[in-house]
Structure 1
């Protein structure tokens, strides 16, 4: 079901319903076999609906997983960059003049490194 094209699934369901309805229309309304056919067609329609719902739920889950993975990767990249900046700052000597020190503090705040 999952590997079928949506148009193919729709055409199969449509053909099942149309052909089944033709048989029901042409037959005796009291025929137990036709009543059973109608019940089985209803059951097939329900199965199709259930399969479609499951397929949509799986696609929604995959989409959510992709969004989470993308967000996690972006966050990891940001953290790696901040880590690199902090490691570089730790290795640098602390400036002795006030102006250079204020510049470093400003740069630190601008880059959102706390």
Structure 2
């Protein structure tokens, strides 16, 4: 069977549309990638501005981070020390027949919480 001229024209048209769709799809992907890169650059610039506005510079921010971490470590050590002292005191008071209810009201902790810490 011989193909008609109309069929050949339709095939060429379909092929042209397919190439156009492929080109449009590639352009859309490239545009999304460019937009994502621009958003990332804007986020980076915003974070640099925030760092400079709040802490002065990256080096100043790192120094402040180190200072905060050292202070937190000191506070954690102090907290552990106070908790240990409180637990020893609760234990000593319990051995002297002070009620859980009284210990709870004076410490601000629940009876169950104190009993768990001392057992």
TM-score, normalised to structure 1, is 0.48
Q: Which has the higher helix share?
A: 2
Structure having the higher Rg: 2
Bigger relative contact order, structure 1 or 2 (CA pairs below 8 A, ≥6 apart): 1
